[in-house]
Amino acid sequence: MTPETEGLLTSLREARRLLLITTRDATDAQLAERSTVSELTLSGILNHLTRGERVWTHVLTDTTGRTPDGMWDMGQYQCPEGATVTGLRAAYEEAARATDEAAATARPDAEARLPETPWEPGVVRHWTVRRILLHLLQETAQHTGHADIVREAIDGANSTALR
């Protein structure tokens, strides 16, 4: 693993850790609670970020540019039927490990073919591993902040206090 990739993964792991701190000790009912004007819930955020890790790991490891299953599914922001805090956190940690493993063996400047988007059919784009990791870091940090607000509105807990 290059020092650059190690640095990017260290930052990504810290953002993930903060998300897991924010969801720690939440009940299954709190996980599905909509506590602000936003539609976001803790379970929806965990579900979306888990899907994101899986999608980008697929992009890193599949050279065909094939669209990963569920990439464009807007239901990924919702609480899955029967979801539990334990199950969603475990799925997220598993997806994150797979991303880390895929990124660790790739060069930061190696290019991955992106899936075709519905809004630009026929356009083929490539992102470097570096850009994919930066995108995951940005998504994770943004939604970790959302989770912190949702959790604080539920019971006053926040990642700073829960550390």
Condensed to tens digits (0 to 9), the pLDDT of residues 76-116 reads: 778 778 889 999 999 999 999 999 999 999 999 999 988 88
Alpha-carbon distances, residue 32 vs 15, 17, 104 (angstroms) = 22, 20, 34
Has residue 16 got a pLDDT over 90? yes
Supply the mean pLDDT for the chain.
90
Has residue 20 got a pLDDT over 80? yes
pLDDT digits (tens, 9 = 90+) for 105-117: 999 999 998 888 8
Q: Select from 107, 121, 110, 125 the least CA-distant residue to 65.
A: 125
Has residue 161 got a pLDDT over 80? no
- Check: CB of residue 30 under 8 Å from CB of residue 65: no
Is 1 or 94 the better-scoring residue by pLDDT? 94
Is 148 or 160 the better-scoring residue by pLDDT? 148
Has residue 124 got a pLDDT over 90? no
Q: State residue 98's pLDDT score.
A: 97
Token pair of 82, please?
A: 């029967």
Token pair of 70, please?
A: 């569920």
- Check: CB of residue 142 under 8 Å from CB of residue 59: no
Q: State residue 96's pLDDT score.
A: 98
Has residue 2 got a pLDDT over 80? yes
Token pair of 77, please?
A: 């922001």
Predicted TM-score (pTM) of the model is: 0.91
